[in-house]
Structure 1
Amino acid sequence: MAGDGTVGKACDVLDQVAAFERPVRFGELQASSPFPKATLYRFLQTLTNQGMLSYEPEHQTYALGMRLVRLAHTAWTQSSLAPIARPHIDRLSEALGETVHLAQLDSSQVLYVDKRNARQPVEMYSQAGKVGPAYCTGVGKAMLAFLPEDTLTRTLSQQSYHRFTDTTLCSEHTLRAELAAIRDRGYAFDREEHEPGIICIAAPILSDQARVLGALSITGPTNRTSYDKLTGWAPQVLDTAARIGAEAQAWRFPETHLRKRQAS
């Protein structure tokens, strides 16, 4: 990001390498890089020396390094909801037989941190570790609806509002109306807004101070799932989200949680 100096630029290079989703040659990076050739090469060398990238000399390609794998694993266990939520989403997926997603906000986007497949899996975009749009996914809208107004305004200004399907909400005005409805009922729907034939119901995972920690969803294909069926699952989705939120609250803010228990 602008203003973040050398560290920010190095992170941009890592993002660029990651975006290829395969080993990539210097020429390919240079073709889409905002940095001069010498600057890009210097960043690649430094990141390779630090283990953030790996270099394969035979094919002259760069890939994400094992140090990032170690950091990612630590981040998954320390910062994501996944370890806490896993038994809860396992039970929910088993009970309902459909796909369960667990997500958190990553800046203005949705980061899927875990997923449980349906008994009859269907190919879809979302996978653990993937980033998706917030404005047209069930988990994204569920989280957006409960953000503080200043955070929401900033986050909405960063949405692309690209039209993926005929039902995608493509403006801040229409999205805000949808978010108000989500706040009223407590859960969100994805009405084939990101992928044709895929619908979901999603609930926010909140702290006891109503801070957004994440969201979970039940997702299914339209050929075997209906909105009436999704609505019927709302109590289970909301209850699971509340249970995850309570455990996450105790884990993330243990001293505050302990003081409240002692006071009661």
Structure 2
Amino acid sequence: MGRLVPAVTRALDILELFLEGDGTLSAPDVIKKLQLPRTTVHELLTTLAARSYLAAVPGRPGRFRLGVRSYQLGSRYAEQLDLAAEGGHVAREIAETCDETVHVAILEETDVIYIAKVDSTHAVRMVSAAGRRLPAHCTSVGKMLLASLPAGELENRIAGHEFTAMTPASITDPEVLRAELAGIRERGVAVEHRESNPDVSCVAAPVRDSAGRVVAALSISVPMIRWSDAREVELAQLAVKGAGALSARLGHRGQ
């Protein structure tokens, strides 16, 4: 790897400061945060503004915000994102950590579609495939995605819907499902015990895009022979970590 260019590094450090707070900064703010010489900061701010990476804040003399060029670069990056590819990358990392099957799924009406899957290396593991469609109410990813819908949209999708069972543990009562989804919203994770497969339990967490919208869910599936209360807690934390990593790859900056 070649030598890092100090001036470029400082310019990028300045741009990254705008990811914090209200997104506006003055020269004194930058000087204080980065401990750089006053002259250097003013020259860098002037250059970034001249190239439209920064812009003056109307009505607030001396303050800057990100400019149109920064937006154009971010938009081009977003255009190149592939949820399935990004999901597959993160799923592999999580599967390597826990050695269980990891899925990433999206919601379509009242079903989920698995768009990425990485298998466990164990001989006993969940049998599934990317591209498979399952009823959302029977899966942890599906319940996570349903719970993330606005109340009105959720009702439009489930009102009058016939909830078929995949196993004896599947939820088929709309009121029970509503209560389950309310609990998921409070916890931030969804759990499914033998609801889509009598031999498997799963945990799932939400994946958000750059605007904070839930666009997918990441789950970890475990055969019941390796499931326990302690394992559930451990894997729930890992699912949240994986979903957060995938969200970050999609441009989400929240917690």
Shorter-chain TM-score tier: 0.5 to 0.7
CA distance in 1, matches of 2:211, 2:130: 27
Q: What is the TM-score normalised by the length of structure 1? A: 0.61
Residue 139 of structure 1: aligned partner? 141
Q: What's the CA shift for 1:159?
A: 4.2
Query: Is contact 1:201-1:231 (8 Å) kept?
Result: no
1:171-186 matched pairs, under 5 angstroms:
171-186=173-188
Query: Is contact 1:80-1:113 (8 Å) kept?
Result: no
1:109-120 matched pairs, under 5 angstroms:
109-120=111-122
Residue 221 of structure 1: aligned partner? 223
Q: Which has the larger radius of gyration?
A: 2
Residue 67 of structure 1: aligned partner? none
1:26-175 matched pairs, under 5 angstroms:
81-122=83-124, 124=126, 126-157=128-159, 159-175=161-177
Q: What root-mean-square deviation, in Å, do the aligned CA atoms of Structure 1 and Structure 2 show?
A: 2.2
Give the partner amino acid of 2:186.
D
CA distance in 1, matches of 2:125, 2:236: 24
CA distance in 2, matches of 1:80, 1:157: 32
Q: What's the CA shift for 1:156?
A: 1.6
* Structure 1 residues 140 and 236: alpha-carbon distance in aligned structure 2, compared to 1, 3 A threshold: same
Q: What is the TM-score normalised by the length of structure 2? A: 0.63
CA distance in 1, matches of 2:187, 2:155: 21
Query: Is contact 2:101-2:126 (8 Å) kept?
Result: no
Residue 194 of structure 1: aligned partner? 196
Query: Is contact 2:203-2:232 (8 Å) kept?
Result: yes
- Secondary structure (helix, strand or coil) at the match of 2:137 reads coil
CA distance in 2, matches of 1:160, 1:228: 34
CA distance in 2, matches of 1:211, 1:171: 28
* Structure 1 residues 170 and 246: alpha-carbon distance in aligned structure 2, compared to 1, 3 A threshold: same
- Secondary structure (helix, strand or coil) at the match of 2:250 reads helix
Structure 1: state its 5+ residue gaps: 1-76, 251-256, 258-264
> Higher mean Cα deviation, 233-242 or 118-127?
118-127
Aligned residues: 175
* Structure 1 residues 107 and 80: alpha-carbon distance in aligned structure 2, compared to 1, 3 A threshold: farther
Residue 47 of structure 1: aligned partner? none
Q: What's the CA shift for 1:233?
A: 2.0
Residue 211 of structure 1: aligned partner? 213
Q: What's the CA shift for 1:188?
A: 0.5
* Structure 1 residues 89 and 158: alpha-carbon distance in aligned structure 2, compared to 1, 3 A threshold: farther
* Structure 1 residues 159 and 218: alpha-carbon distance in aligned structure 2, compared to 1, 3 A threshold: farther
Structure 2: state its 5+ residue gaps: 1-78
- Secondary structure (helix, strand or coil) at the match of 1:223 reads helix
Query: Is contact 2:101-2:125 (8 Å) kept?
Result: no
* Structure 1 residues 179 and 80: alpha-carbon distance in aligned structure 2, compared to 1, 3 A threshold: farther
Query: Is contact 1:133-1:159 (8 Å) kept?
Result: no
CA distance in 2, matches of 1:78, 1:154: 32
CA distance in 1, matches of 2:169, 2:204: 17
Give the partner amino acid of 2:137.
Y
* Structure 1 residues 214 and 182: alpha-carbon distance in aligned structure 2, compared to 1, 3 A threshold: same
Q: What's the CA shift for 1:162?
A: 1.1
Q: What's the CA shift for 1:78?
A: 7.2
Query: Is contact 1:135-1:159 (8 Å) kept?
Result: no
* Structure 1 residues 111 and 242: alpha-carbon distance in aligned structure 2, compared to 1, 3 A threshold: same
Residue 232 of structure 1: aligned partner? 234
Query: Is contact 1:204-1:215 (8 Å) kept?
Result: yes
- Secondary structure (helix, strand or coil) at the match of 1:143 reads helix
Residue 246 of structure 2: aligned partner? 244
* Structure 1 residues 158 and 114: alpha-carbon distance in aligned structure 2, compared to 1, 3 A threshold: farther
